[in-house]
């Protein structure tokens, strides 16, 4: 017996490897603290102090008592509620038609709506400025020419509160549409079949079964649209300021003009921050309760409604929406880019490449802005994806007690409006010991912070679906945690990593709210150049730069979707 025992192989003890989890946790905690918590600290400090650094509530008292500060807040709330209502009114029938009917060309319609996500809202506002300015707007010119009317007659005026609401809604309704379309597609067909068996017609089933199930998604999407409108800077700066009124974001920006009032700007940022947090909390509470309506059983495939002769009026409605949000704005930018004057007709005799030559060869700021934009887009996408991957991995695998706090901090920026973050970054990095204002690094920090929640959420969701057994086997065989992430986890997450990189890149090159607070003459970006050119009225150069941004964005999505991922032809979830 003893001989037999002696002949048995003895398992080698697993090698002890260095686990850098604690060191990574410390480094990532410090990085997230600098990205997220430091700007909030300086916002609070400046809002509660006077010029000499003494504690005071004077900034908040002025915020409440000054009419010039109260009015923009009222206008902002009115605008945001209008955008939410209009976005819901557009997205609701559109989502039902695309998700649950036999409408022709549904795949193409989805793709065109996706284009609204890629289009920067400030560029869309400029496109509608070209189309609907009272004097030079193409629509007004065509209207006056068609009916032989005098020059002062106006059909549409984009420089109004109503025009601003419309222009912003063109690029926020896709947010509502996406949530609603997904909700319509998840409605179980069994419930609708049961309603039909019990004698209910299609309209009754839609009203009593389908509609209650998608109502939480509608409310949540509307809240997202309201939040987007409330925190937006670009479109209001382009359309509201020429009309002679402020919203809260443009008012905060104006407080940094001469003479600057950083304390008052910091105080004005806190109500906007509070409203953003409240809206996000309500939205998540609503979405978190969606599942209570469907319990148990296998849900059937959603039923496709037959529109009959209504399909062509419905198709006309969809084409009207797409014309107003995608086709007309893009056509206006193209037309303006190839003519010397906005009012000129696009004919062979008026066709010119002057604007392209001016932008790329004569305008000295263009090349620097393009280099800065590409550098920041690539760098922020790389750094943001890396930090998001590490945070998501640490949180999902719970490698250290209390690591869940990293997930909370990484999600906080979703509730920080861009203009508020820009103010916080300016206050944090324009004084010692962090003198980064006037460099590209402060913009890099801002972009990584803004895009961090999206990166963390997407990668966290992907990691949560992965079985950890492969990683455990790698550790048993002697690999440390970083080697395991590099050789096991990252390859399995390749699709999500590339998709996250692309989303951060696109988000960075279209960012304006925080950028406008942080750029200088040496750190101009394409988005800021577009805004500056709009101030001087050079719409031809703006159109060229806008088209360039769109081409770069669509090219990134196209290239990423054609990458050979995981040995197959899997496409990225970007479109």
Helix (H, G, I), strand (E, B), or coil: what is residue 49? strand
Mean pLDDT of 460-466: 83
Q: What is the mean pLDDT of residues 375-402?
A: 88
Structural domains in the chain? 27-46+73-292+312-342 (1.10.3720.10), 353-402+440-575 (1.10.3720.10)
> What is the spatial distance between Cα 491 and Cα 565, in angstroms, rounded to a whole number?
9
Place 3 in a pLDDT band, splitting at 50, 70 and 90.
Answer: very low
CA distance 508 to 515: 9
Confidence label for 126 from pLDDT (cuts 50, 70 and 90): very high
Predicted pLDDT at 565: 47
Tell me the pLDDT band of 566, cut-offs 50, 70 and 90: very low
User: CA–CA separation, 73 vs 87, rounded Å?
Assistant: 21
Nearest CA to 307 out of 134, 159, 102, 464 is that of 102
Whether the per-residue pLDDT at 177 is higher than 60: the answer is yes
Range in 10-19, 103-112, 281-290, 500-509 the model is least confident about: 10-19
**Bridge partners, 430 (sequence order):** 435
Greatest distance between any 2 Cα atoms in the chain:
113
Does the pLDDT of residue 50 top 70, yes or no? yes
- Cα distance between residue 79 and residue 229, in whole Å: 7
Q: How confident is the model at residue 476 (pLDDT cuts 50, 70, 90)?
A: confident
Q: Residue 542 pLDDT > 90, yes or no?
A: yes
In this model, does residue 51 exceed pLDDT 80?
A: no
Average model confidence (pLDDT) across the chain? 84
Return all residues near 152 (Cβ < 8 A) that are at least 6 apart.
none
Q: Is the pLDDT of residue 490 over 80?
A: no
Helix axes 58-65, 67-100, angle to 10 degrees: 70
DSSP state of 165: H
Sole residue written with tokens 């604007």? 355
Residue 110 scores a pLDDT above 60: yes
pLDDT category at 473 given cuts 50, 70, 90 is: confident
Q: Which two tokens stand for residue 281?
A: 């909390």
Angstrom CA distances, 168 to 124, 137, 164, 181, 546, stand at 8, 18, 6, 21, 17
Q: Is the dihedral of CA 408, 414, 420, 422 positive or negative?
A: positive
Closest CA to 503 of 570, 443, 573: 573
* Three-class secondary structure of residue 279 per DSSP: helix
Which residues touch 41 (CB under 8 Å, ≥6 apart)? 428
Tokens of 472: 């455990």
pLDDT for res 239: 96
Give tens-digit pLDDT for 75-91.
999 999 999 999 999 99
Q: What is the DSSP string of 408-446?
A: HHHHGGGGS-HHHHHHHHHHHHEETTEE-TTSHHHHHHH
The CA-atom distances, in angstroms, between 81 and each of 180, 495, 562 are 19, 37, 40
Mean pLDDT (whole number) for 49-58:
86
424, 435, 419: which is closest to 46 by C-alpha? 424
For residue 386, pLDDT over 50 is answered with yes
- Greater confidence (297 vs 504) lies with 504
Evaluate if residue 514 carries a pLDDT over 70. Answer: yes
Closest CA to 113 of 135, 82, 91: 91
The tokens describing 174, both together, are 């896709």
With CA atoms as reference, report the closest residue to 239 among 174, 177, 169, 175: 169
Instruction: List, in order, residues 6 or more apart from 327 with CB less than 8 Å away.
Output: none
pLDDT tens by residue, 403-462:
888 888 998 898 889 999 999 999 999 877 788 999 999 999 999 999 999 899 888 888
Residue 22: exposed, middle, or buried by beta-carbon count in 10 A (0-12, 13-18, 19+)? Answer: exposed
């Amino acid at each position: 017996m003893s001989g037999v025992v002696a002949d048995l192989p003895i398992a080698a003890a697993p090698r002890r490897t260095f686990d850098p989890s604690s060191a990574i946790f410390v480094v990532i905690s410090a990085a997230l603290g600098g990205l997220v918590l430091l700007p909030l600290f300086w916002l609070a400090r400046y809002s509660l102090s006077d010029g000499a650094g003494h504690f005071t509530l004077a900034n908040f008292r002025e915020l409440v008592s000054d009419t010039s500060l109260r009015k923009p807040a009222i206008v902002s709330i009115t605008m945001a509620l209008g955008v939410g209502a209009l976005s819901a009114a557009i997205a609701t029938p559109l989502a039902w038609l695309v998700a649950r009917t036999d409408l022709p060309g549904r795949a193409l319609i989805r793709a065109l709506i996706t284009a609204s996500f890629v289009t920067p809202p400030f560029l869309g506002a400029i496109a509608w400025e070209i189309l609907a300015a009272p004097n030079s707007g193409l629509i007004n010119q065509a209207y006056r020419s068609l009916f032989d009317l005098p020059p002062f007659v106006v059909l549409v005026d984009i420089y109004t509160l109503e025009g601003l609401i419309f222009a912003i809604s063109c690029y926020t309704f896709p947010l509502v549409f996406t949530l609603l379309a997904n909700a319509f597609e998840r409605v179980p067909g069994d419930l609708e079949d049961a309603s039909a068996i019990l004698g209910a017609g299609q309209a009754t089933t839609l009203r009593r079964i389908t509609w209650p199930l998608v109502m939480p998604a509608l409310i949540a999407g509307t809240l997202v649209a309201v939040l987007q409108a409330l925190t937006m800077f670009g479109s209001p700066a382009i359309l509201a300021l020429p009309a002679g009124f402020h919203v809260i974001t443009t008012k905060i920006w104006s407080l940094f003009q001469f003479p600057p009032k950083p304390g008052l700007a910091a105080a004005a940022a806190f109500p906007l921050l509070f409203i953003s947090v409240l809206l996000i909390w309500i939205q998540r509470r609503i979405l978190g309760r969606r599942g209570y309506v469907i319990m148990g059983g296998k849900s059937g495939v959603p039923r496709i409604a037959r529109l009959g002769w209504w399909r062509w009026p419905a198709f006309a409605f969809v084409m009207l929406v797409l014309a107003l949000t995608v086709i007309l704005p893009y056509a206006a930018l193209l037309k303006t880019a190839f003519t010397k004057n906005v009012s000129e007709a696009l004919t062979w005799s008026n066709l010119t490449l002057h604007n392209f030559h001016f932008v790329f060869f004569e305008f000295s700021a263009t090349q620097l802005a393009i280099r800065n934009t590409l550098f920041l887009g690539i760098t922020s996408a790389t750094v943001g994806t890396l930090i998001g991957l590490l945070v998501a991995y640490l949180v999902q695998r719970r490698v250290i007690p209390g690591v869940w706090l990293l997930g909370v901090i990484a999600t906080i920026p979703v509730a920080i409006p861009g203009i508020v973050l820009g103010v916080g970054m300016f206050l944090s990095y324009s004084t010692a010991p962090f003198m980064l204002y006037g460099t590209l690094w402060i913009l890099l920090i801002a972009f990584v912070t803004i895009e961090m929640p999206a990166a963390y959420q997407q990668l966290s969701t992907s990691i949560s679906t992965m079985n950890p057994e492969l990683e455990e086997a790698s550790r048993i065989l002697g690999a440390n945690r970083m080697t395991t992430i590099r050789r096991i986890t990252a390859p399995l997450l390749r699709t999500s990593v590339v998709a996250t990189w692309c989303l951060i890149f696109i988000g960075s090159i279209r960012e304006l709210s925080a950028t406008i607070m942080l750029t200088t003459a040496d750190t101009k970006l394409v988005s800021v150049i577009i805004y500056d050119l709009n101030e001087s009225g050079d719409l031809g150069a703006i159109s060229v730069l806008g088209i360039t941004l769109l081409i770069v964005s669509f090219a990134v999505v196209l290239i990423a979707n054609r990458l050979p991922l995981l040995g197959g032809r899997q496409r990225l979830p970007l479109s």
